Amino acid sequence: MQRFERINQDMKAKTIAPLLDNYIFEYYDAIVRIKNGEKVPGVRAAGVFIHAIFKILVEGIQSGEYIFNPKKANKAIKFIENFCHHSEGRSDLLKLELWQKAVASAIFGIMDPENPKIRMFREVLLIVARKNGKTLFAAAIMAYMTYIDGEYGAKLYCMAPKLDQAELCFDAFYQIVQSDDELNSATQKRRTDLYVKDFNTSVKKLAFNSKKSDGFNVFFCLNDEIEAWRGDAGLKQYEVISSATGSRDQPLVMSTGTAGYENDGIYDELIRRATAFLKGRSIGKEKERRFLPFLFIIDDVEKWDTREELEKSNPNLDVSVKWDYYVEQIAIAHSSLSKKAEFLTKFCNIKQNSSIAWLDYQDVEKAVGKDKDGIAAHYTLEDFRGCYCVGGIDLSRTTDLTAASIVIERANINYIFTQFFMPQKRFDVAVDEENVPYNIYKDRGFLTISGDNAVDYRDVYKWFFDLVKVYKIKPLKVGYDRYSAQYLINDMKEAGFHMDDVYQGTNLTPILIEFEGKLKDGLIEIGDNALLQGHFLNVAVDININDSRMKPVKIDKRSHIDGAVSVFDAFTVKMKYSSEIRQQLKNIGK
C-alpha cells in the first residue's frame, strides 16, 4: 500500500491553496462567465439548478456556514487521477474535468462546522445525461471511499432493483480495482463480495430486499440508475439504506441517473427535495443540510435540439460524447415523437411527467409584505369591509387539515385571506407528528379547531356566512374541489352563494401561470399567515412534457397544500367569470 501512503504524505505536505483557488469557486466562476457571454475552455454552459447549488456552496463557504478543507478535497481528486482507469474503449487513467473536480471537492472538502473532522454531506444526487461518464465517476468515488476515506470495517454496496442491474456499477468499480496492481493486490474476490483485508472492508452488490437490508451497517451505497427504481419498493429500499447509515461517523449515499419514465418513485421524490432545496425552501431544513444535489438538466425545452441547451445536461460534451453523435440523434428525434421523448428523457434529463418544486422562496416571502424592520404585514377582514371577492374551498380531507380562502382585489393587488380547519383529535397529535406549530396558528386566529374526529362543515359555512353578515364582504363566486363535502356545497347554494366545481388537473395550468406571474410582480399579498406561506412552498408542479401543461402536487407525501389549492380554486372562478364580475372585483372606491 505504498502509493496510498504516498498520497497521504503528499497531502500532509501540500500547502493549502488560497480559498479562491478551490475547484468549487473555479467552476462557479467559469459557468457565470459563460452565462455572461464569455467562452471558457473546457467548461460547458450550466443550467439554473447547477448555478443554484454552486451559488449555495460558494456563499456558504464565504459566510462560514460551511468549512472548506482543500487538503481533503485535493486528496480525493489526486487518488482518482492516480489510481482509477477507464475500462471501456481505453485503459488510461481517469482525468477529471473541472465540473467533476468541483463535485468531488464539494463531497469530500466541505466539512461539518460543528465537527470539522467529518464531511458535511450524507446524501449526494447526481443527475446527468447519458454518455457523460457518471457510472465511472461514481465508481471512482466508491474506490476512494473504500481505500482511502473509509472507516475500518466499512461496508459498501452497489444497489439496484435487480442483481444484474447492480452488477453494472459493481463491475465498473471492480474494473478500476483490476486495472491497478496495488488496488488489485490489496483486494480479495470472494463469492459474494470484494474484501480488503488491511481495512476489514467489503464491497457488495445488492438487489432490492428491504427486509434483509434492515440489519445493514452502511458506510457507502451507490444507487445507480435510480430512474428505474419503481414506486413504493424503490422508496422503501432507499429509506432502509439511508436509515442503515446511522452508526457511521460520515456515511454517504450516492444516487445517480438520468430522467426516466417511472412515476412517484425515488427519482421523483429526490427531484422534489432537490428542487425545493435549490429554490430556497426551509421545509426539512435540518434534514436537507446534509443533501447535495447536482442536477444537470436543460432549462428551455423549446430549445432541446440546440447545443446551447444540451451543454447544460451534458457537462462532458466533446469529452466523453461528441457533438456529431448528438447531431445524428437529434435528426432521429425529429422524425419520431417516441424518439423525441426518449431523447428529451435521456439526453436532456426532462422527464415525461416531471414533478419539480414550483415557487421561489423569495417570491413567496415577498407576498408576506414585510416592512423595513422585517415585520410581516397583518391584514384583517375589517380592513376590507364592504368589498367584493371570490372564494375557494378545499374540503377533501375532513379528518385532517382543510382550508377556505377569499381573494380581494384592491388597486390591482390581490389580498388573500385563508382560514384553516382541523379536528380536535388531529390537532392533539399534529404538532409533534408534523413539527408544525399549529398551536401558534390557532392562537393567532388562522386555524379553527372544528369537530372531534372530522372537520364540522358548518364551521366552514359559518366563516363564509360571517364574511357577509359581519364584514359585508361579498363572495361573487366560490370555487370548490369536486371532492368537497356535498352537504356543505348544497347549504351554501341554498344560502345564496354562487358555487362552481373546479377540477384539480392540468386545466389549472393557466391559473398557475397567472398566479406565479402576479407573485413575481408583487401583486399578491398574504400578510403574516405563515401557515399559508408554508402551503405555497409545499407545492410542486407535475409537468407533462408533451404539452407543457401542469397540475399542482405535494412536494412530498407528508406535506400539506390545502391552503394553496383553495386559493387556486378562487383564482379559477375569478378567471372563468372575469367578463361577468371583473368590474365589481376591482372594488373601486372601497
Q: Over 50: is that where the pLDDT of 253 sits?
A: yes
pLDDT of residue 435: 76
Question: What 3 state SS string does 532-590 have?
Answer: HHHHHHCEEEEEECCCCCEEEEECCCCCCCHHHHHHHHHHHHHHHCHHHHHHHHCCCCC
CA distances from 150 to 67, 116, 217 (A): 21, 17, 13
Pairing, β 193-196 against β 201-207: antiparallel
Q: What is the dihedral of CA 575, 577, 582, 586, to 10 degrees?
A: -70
Cell 402551503, located at residue: 535
Cα–Cα distance, 230 to 238 (Å, whole number): 11
pLDDT of residue 2: 55
pLDDT tens per residue across span 355-366:
677 888 888 888
> Residue 87's pLDDT band (boundaries 50, 70, 90)?
confident
Q: What percent of the chain has pLDDT over 70?
A: 91
Considering only CA atoms, which of 104, 102, 92, 187 is closest in space to residue 138? 104
Considering only CA atoms, which of 279, 257, 223, 260 is closest in space to residue 350? 260
Cα–Cα distance, 54 to 278 (Å, whole number): 10
Name which residue leads in pLDDT, 88 or 154.
154
Measured in whole angstroms, the distance separating CA 154 from the mean position of its chain's CA atoms is 29
Measured in whole angstroms, the distance separating CA 278 from the mean position of its chain's CA atoms is 7
pLDDT of residue 12: 47
Are the C-beta atoms of residues 572 and 511 closer than 8 Å to each other?
A: yes
> Residue 544's pLDDT band (boundaries 50, 70, 90)?
confident
Q: Over 60: is that where the pLDDT of 190 sits?
A: yes
Q: Over 60: is that where the pLDDT of 11 sits?
A: no
> Residue 208's pLDDT band (boundaries 50, 70, 90)?
confident
Q: Given CA atoms 584, 585, 588, 590 in this order, what sign does their dihedral have?
A: positive
Minimum mean pLDDT range among 249-258, 338-347, 523-532? 338-347
- 3-state DSSP call for residue 321? strand
Cα–Cα distance, 340 to 171 (Å, whole number): 31
> Residue 141's pLDDT band (boundaries 50, 70, 90)?
very high
Q: What is the mean pLDDT of the chain?
A: 88
- 3-state DSSP call for residue 407? strand
Name which residue leads in pLDDT, 505 or 308.
308
> Residue 240's pLDDT band (boundaries 50, 70, 90)?
confident
Cα–Cα distance, 143 to 180 (Å, whole number): 11
Minimum mean pLDDT range among 72-76, 277-281, 405-409? 277-281
Are the C-beta atoms of residues 135 and 169 closer than 8 Å to each other?
A: yes
pLDDT tens per residue across span 144-174:
999 998 788 999 999 988 888 888 899 999 9
pLDDT of residue 283: 40
pLDDT of residue 15: 37
pLDDT tens per residue across span 547-587:
778 889 988 777 899 999 999 999 999 999 999 999 999 99
Name which residue leads in pLDDT, 44 or 210.
44
Task: Give the containing element (helix H, strand E) for 418.
Answer: strand 413-422
Alpha helices in 398-551 (DSSP H): 424-434, 438-443, 457-469, 486-494, 509-520, 530-537
pLDDT tens per residue across span 365-403:
889 887 766 688 899 999 999 999 999 999 866 678 899
pLDDT of residue 397: 65
Cα–Cα distance, 110 to 123 (Å, whole number): 13
Cα–Cα distance, 361 to 283 (Å, whole number): 11
Cα–Cα distance, 44 to 311 (Å, whole number): 6
Report which residue type is found at 457: Y
Minimum mean pLDDT range among 413-422, 424-433, 552-561? 552-561
Cell of 523: 401583486
Cell of 554: 405535494
pLDDT tens per residue across span 276-297:
888 876 444 445 789 999 999 9
pLDDT of residue 260: 82
Are the C-beta atoms of residues 437 and 548 closer than 8 Å to each other?
A: no
Pairing, β 353-357 against β 115-119: unpaired
DSSP state of 16: P
Cell of 64: 462560514
> Residue 458's pLDDT band (boundaries 50, 70, 90)?
very high
Task: Give the containing element (helix H, strand E) for 184.
Answer: helix 181-185
- 3-state DSSP call for residue 50? helix
Report which residue type is found at 69: N
CA angle 471, 476, 481 (to 5 degrees): 105
Considering only CA atoms, which of 99, 538, 106, 42 is closest in space to residue 279? 538
pLDDT of residue 178: 94
* Residue ranges of domains in the chain, CATH in brackets: 2-352 (3.40.50.300), 361-585 (3.30.420.240)
Q: pTM, whole model, 2 decimals?
A: 0.73
Pairing, β 402-410 against β 413-422: antiparallel
pLDDT tens per residue across span 92-111:
899 999 999 999 999 999 99
User: Could you give phi then psi for residue 67, rounded to 5 degrees?
Assistant: -105, 125
